[in-house]
Amino acid sequence: MANSPTKGIFCLEGEWDNDLRKKRSIRPVLDLLQHSNSPRVDSIRRDVGTKAEFEYYLRKWSLQKYQNFRILYLAFHGEPGELCLGDEGSVDLDWLEERLQNKCKNCLIHFGSCGTLDTHGKRLQRFMRSTRALAVCGYRSNVDWMLSTSFELILMSTLQDNAFTRSGLAAVQKRLKREAKGLVNELKFRLLISNP
């Protein structure tokens, strides 16, 4: 994916509640980034309720016209190594890796889901090698909605300030540990950069 002044966010979001009258969504974070960050951070957000929808939007994201959306933000319920799709069950890293194989060059995948990255580092390095992702990040435990949402606003903004290189993402990692250490620790956040 080509370099751009900002790293656009392509967000796929699952249902947070069985009660459809509840309106919990990551959309306000994306809106705030778009309207308050300088330079503005463009985003695309789509609801995903089925594996077919998930696969459809992953294919869309890999199209040339979305090359500036270098952050794939997966906002779902989760478990170690999995993203939950409600009634449809879940998808695991193998399923995701197969669909993203060789499609994530110079991209970061954020698993905005409870516990998905409570997975062995070697497995995550294999995922990054196969997909060609520069980095993955997310949580190793169950997280509080408001705390994780607040942190993700900080994370997405911080990602804009550094190049999408190994050294640039190492700088992001250091800055988050310095400026948001309490949230990083409480949320058991981890950012893994691909091995050269």
C-alpha dist (Å) from residue 116 to 8, 16, 75? 23, 15, 11
What is the model's pLDDT at position 23? Answer: 77
Query: Which pLDDT score is estimated for 22?
Result: 74
User: For the segment 1-31, what is each residue's pLDDT rounded down to a tens digit?
Assistant: 334 457 999 999 998 777 777 778 899 999 9
Run of H or E including 43: strand 43-47
How confident is the prediction along the chain (196 residues), in pLDDT tens digits per residue?
Answer: 334 457 999 999 998 777 777 778 899 999 998 888 677 889 999 999 999 999 999 999 999 999 999 999 999 999 999 999 988 889 999 999 999 999 999 999 999 999 999 999 999 999 999 999 999 999 999 999 999 999 999 999 999 989 999 999 999 999 999 999 999 999 999 999 999 8
Q: How far apart are CA 54 and CA 51, in angstroms?
A: 5
* pLDDT value of position 16: 77
Q: Say if residue 5 is preceded by a cis peptide, omega within 30 of 0.
A: no
Q: What is the pLDDT of residue 5?
A: 58
pLDDT at 19: 72
CATH numeric code, 9-13+25-193: 3.40.50.1460
* DSSP code at position 70: -
What pTM, to 2 d.p., does this model score?
A: 0.94
pLDDT value of position 117: 97
What are the boundaries of each domain within the chain?
9-13+25-193
